[in-house]
């Protein structure tokens, strides 16, 4: 019996009575509602109607596909301008990096740090963690389940925050359209950046955390 | 034979994060159980989840509706002023030929959160009124859970704060009522995340004959 505890308490059950994963017991857990059924018994869940897979089908292949696209479009996202500013006296095409530097130059350190972390650090960390976890599963690197689990939770938590810069460009464009002296337009880099964030979120979503705990490599290579 | 197997199966739960099997814990209201292997939350029984979540959804719908239509920011520079709502910012992007950016922003900030609240109301209201849930409710609740990472109003707010600082040097910006509505909507969605208990709701949706 799992230990019941008050919210906030992190007591861990000391005596698991079953000692198997659902997969080892020949069961599959519905990813949407948690209903258990015999593996292979049904393709759809008897409660919620979702497709039931013991593990995300072709999980690691999906991770690599999404991650690769995410990394590829991150290159134009960094190189191409994300914001085109036009006025009577000046025109400037800012990339993400030049925007960060410009903000720091104006003394807005807090804002430039926010953008730097959200647009440069978080994507880089996510690429490294997702790629590292996928590699560690494929190559069978010796790594504790718990640290893999923690890294995975971290990517899930921080991934969405990269979108900040996309919203900044959208808000500035919409606001400044109204003025007549200056216009701001989104540059091609921001499209690539938004796509990179979306594909990296999809890659993180395809990484099945249950694979970290599977002892048999069989579970990792089999489709279902 | 089949009924035996069903009872045995529904007596078990597997950890969503590591697949470790447990006997279904008997939880009192307000308790939660964690996985014995990875310490991820296994099952929870949050207090009064249907009523509280329903209240949060209705408040969220109202606040988001106001946040979208009321003036969000107003800009003034040397006597020329203008004010925009979140919807205006979409039309401004659209008319400026930045269709994809407008659609992306509108979807992540407005459409997905509204859709999520509406679906959740459609799931919870019949439960509150004591009607039996149909298959439609279960599909809807599945989507509610699936959509949650893609609704990003809180991230938008950080984007707005950054934009305010960037523009603040060139023009005077005033914060409108919708700004505070969106902030309140974010607080409500945070509250919803704390009171919504998927385990309890799935069990209610399973209807009679399901485990307690």
Q: What is the pLDDT of residues B192-207, one digit of tens each?
A: 999 999 988 988 888 7
In chain A, which residues have their Cβ closer than 8 Å to the Cβ of B2?
A: none
d(CA A112, CA A108): 6
Residue A79 reports pLDDT greater than 60: yes
Q: At A23, is the pLDDT very low, low, confident or very high (cuts 50, 70, 90)?
A: confident
Same domain? For B19 and B78 the reply is no
Partner-chain contact B96 A194, CB within 8 Å: no
CATH class label, A59-216: mainly alpha
Same domain? For B37 and B61 the reply is no
Q: Is B1 on the interface with A (CB under 8 A)?
A: no
d(CA A185, CA A162): 20
Give strand pairing partners of B21.
B14
Tabulate helix, strand, coil % of chain A (nearest 5).
55, 10, 35
Residue A86 reports pLDDT greater than 90: no
Partner-chain contact B202 A163, CB within 8 Å: no
Q: Which domain holds residue B126?
A: 50-206
Q: Is B8 on the interface with A (CB under 8 A)?
A: no
Same domain? For B27 and B63 the reply is no
Q: At A13, is the pLDDT very low, low, confident or very high (cuts 50, 70, 90)?
A: very low
Q: Which residues contact A156 (CB under 8 A, 6 or more apart)?
A: A204, B149
Instruction: Identify the residue among B162, B174, B182, B211 best suited for mutation to test binding to A, counting A beta carbons within 10 A and taking the highest.
Output: B162
Beta strands in chain A (DSSP E): 4-5, 27-29, 36-38, 83-87, 91-94, 182-186
Residue B197 lies in a domain: yes
Mean pLDDT across B128-140: 86
Closest C-alpha among B2, B34, B112 to residue B68: B112
Residue B5 reports pLDDT greater than 50: no
Mean pLDDT across A172-180: 73
More confident residue, B76 or A112: A112
Range from A48-62, A113-127, A141-155 that averages highest in pLDDT: A113-127
Partner-chain contact B13 A103, CB within 8 Å: no
Q: At A20, is the pLDDT very low, low, confident or very high (cuts 50, 70, 90)?
A: confident
Residue B1 reports pLDDT greater than 60: no
Please state the domain extents for chain A: 1-54, 59-216
Same domain? For B101 and B202 the reply is yes
Residue B88 reports pLDDT greater than 60: yes
Residue B211 reports pLDDT greater than 60: no
Own/partner pairs, A201-206, CB within 8 angstroms, 24+ separation: A201/A159, A201/A160, A201/B149, A202/A66, A202/A70, A203/A62, A203/A63, A203/A66, A203/A67, A203/A70, A203/A130, A204/A126, A204/A130, A204/A152, A204/A155, A204/A156, A204/A159, A205/B149, A206/A56, A206/A59, A206/A62, A206/A63, A206/A66
> If you search the block for the tokens 């997969």, which residue do you land on?
A23
For residues B34 and A2, is the Cβ–Cβ distance under 8 A? Answer: yes
In chain A, which residues have their Cβ closer than 8 Å to the Cβ of B101?
A: 166, 169-170, 173, 186, 190-191, 194
Same domain? For B81 and B34 the reply is no
Residue B41 DSSP SS3: strand
Q: What is the CATH number of the domain that holds B124?
A: 1.20.140
Residue B212 lies in a domain: no
Same domain? For B96 and B151 the reply is yes
Mean pLDDT across A118-128: 93
CA distance A190 to chain B (A): 9
User: What's the pTM?
Assistant: 0.84
Residue A1: closest CA among chain B residues belongs to which residue? Answer: B23
Range from B7-16, B70-79, B127-136 that averages highest in pLDDT: B127-136
């Amino acid at each position: 019996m799992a230990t019941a505890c008050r919210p906030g308490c992190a007591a861990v059950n000391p005596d698991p009575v079953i000692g198997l994963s659902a997969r080892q017991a020949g069961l599959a857990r519905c990813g949407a509602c948690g209903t258990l059924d015999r593996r292979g018994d049904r393709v759809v869940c008897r409660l919620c109607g979702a497709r039931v897979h013991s593990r995300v089908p072709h999980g690691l292949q999906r991770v690599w596909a999404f991650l690769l696209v995410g990394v590829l479009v991150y290159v134009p996202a960094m190189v191409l301008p994300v914001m085109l500013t036009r006025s009577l006296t000046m025109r400037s095409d800012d990339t993400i990096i030049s925007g960060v530097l410009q903000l720091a130059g104006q003394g807005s350190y807090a804002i430039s740090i926010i953008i730097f972390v959200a647009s440069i650090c978080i994507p880089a960390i996510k690429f490294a963690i997702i790629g590292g976890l996928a590699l560690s599963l494929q190559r069978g690197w010796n790594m504790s389940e718990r640290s893999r689990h923690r890294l995975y939770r971290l990517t899930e938590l921080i991934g969405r925050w990269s979108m900040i810069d996309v919203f900044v460009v959208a808000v500035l464009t919409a606001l400044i359209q109204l003025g007549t002296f200056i216009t701001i337009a989104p540059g091609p880099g921001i499209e690539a950046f938004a796509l990179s964030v979306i594909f990296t979120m999809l890659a993180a979503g395809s990484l099945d955390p249950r694979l970290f705990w599977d002892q048999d490599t069989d579970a990792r290579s089999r489709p279902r | 034979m089949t009924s035996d197997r069903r009872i045995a199966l529904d007596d078990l739960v597997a950890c969503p994060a590591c697949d470790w099997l447990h006997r279904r814990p008997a939880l009192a209201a307000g308790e939660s159980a964690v996985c014995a292997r990875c310490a991820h939350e296994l099952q929870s029984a949050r207090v009064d989840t249907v009523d509280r979540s329903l209240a949060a959804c209705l408040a969220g719908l109202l606040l988001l509706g106001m946040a979208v239509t009321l003036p969000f920011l107003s800009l003034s520079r040397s006597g020329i002023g203008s004010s925009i709502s979140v919807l205006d910012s979409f039309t401004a992007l659209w008319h400026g030929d930045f269709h994809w950016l407008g659609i992306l922003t509108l979807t992540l900030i407005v459409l997905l959160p509204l859709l999520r609240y509406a679906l959740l109301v459609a799931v919870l209201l019949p439960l509150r009124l004591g009607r039996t849930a149909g298959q439609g409710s279960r599909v809807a609740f599945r989507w509610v859970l699936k959509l949650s990472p893609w609704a990003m109003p809180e991230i938008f707010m950080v984007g707005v704060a950054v934009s305010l600082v960037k523009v603040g040097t060139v023009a005077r910006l005033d914060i409108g009522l919708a700004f505070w509505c969106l902030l309140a909507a974010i607080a409500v969605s945070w509250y919803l995340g704390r009171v919504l208990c998927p385990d309890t709701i799935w069990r209610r949706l399973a209807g009679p004959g399901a485990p307690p």
